[in-house]
Amino acid sequence: MVSKNELKILTSLYQKKYRDKHGLFLVEGRKTIEEFLNSSYSCRQIYVANIEKNAFPKELISHLSINDLKKISNLKHTSGHIGVFELPNDQVMIEQDIKIVLDHIQDPGNLGTIIRLCDWFGIEQLICSKDTVDCYNPKVVQASMGSLSRVKVLYVDIEEFINDRQEEIVSMLLNGENIYQTTLPKKAVYIIGNESNGIRPSLVEKTKLPLTIPQFSKHQKVESLNAATATSILLSELMRK
């Protein structure tokens, strides 16, 4: 049986301060839990509504009524499986020639999609400003579709980080060089900015190469591209030969 206190802790993990306090985060869905079990993350417990129908390690499984599971679930239709994993302690920079940096991305769906894109395009680590949404937010975990189990996310003081870099700083801006007509450096830091405000001025100042995805519409009014779709086009251009 799962105690009321345990349930309270589980629902509290929707908030970053309680994730940090307990050192835990939630992963939903059978397949995504399996991906986290096969990763460097440690699993604390797996709550399932139906004990018979799963292949998880027995010592990790707890039974939870479907009604209690729905209370914890982030989804409209829960799959009946919620895993509790430990937050990682290691916050080490991975040396990769191409570094993708997010400045103040706020939408959990965007961050999750960008983590999934990094996974697809072989970017092992994503670097985020401290004011970017937390990658262990259940909506980010959901949108990343298991990719968070493979892509490391490092939160840094972004101005300090950029100041310390030796590589070329490339920023995705609205008035830069045409991305399709520019040779993209293969060893560089690429910055993608906030959904509404773009990249903060102090980082724009440090930019050596400003890059733009040109607009092909005959209309003048088109909004900037969504942060995740801009990232997908940037990664595509970096990886295509």
Question: Which residue in this structure is represented by tokens 């969504």?
Answer: 226
Considering the complex, state which of residue 113 and residue 132 has its C-beta at the smaller distance from a second copy: 113
Q: How far is the CB of 131 from a second copy (least distance, A)?
A: 18
Q: How far is the CB of 65 from a second copy (least distance, A)?
A: 27
In a 3-state reduction of DSSP, which class is residue 236? helix
Q: Distance from CA of residue 91 to its chain's centroid?
A: 15
Phi and psi at residue 130, to the nearest 5°: -60, -25
The CA distance from 154 to 118, in Å, is 13
The CA distance from 78 to 241, in Å, is 41
Q: How far is the CB of 78 from a second copy (least distance, A)?
A: 17
Considering the complex, state which of residue 49 and residue 234 has its C-beta at the smaller distance from a second copy: 234
Q: How far is the CB of 90 from a second copy (least distance, A)?
A: 19
Beta bridge pairs of residue 155: 128
Q: What is the DSSP letter of 60?
A: G
Summarize as ranges the residues that interact with a second copy (CB under 8 A). 35, 38, 109, 113, 116-117, 119-122, 145-147, 150, 180, 213, 215-219, 221-223, 225-226, 228-229, 232-233, 236-237, 239-241
Considering the complex, state which of residue 58 and residue 218 has its C-beta at the smaller distance from a second copy: 218
Considering the complex, state which of residue 186 and residue 241 has its C-beta at the smaller distance from a second copy: 241
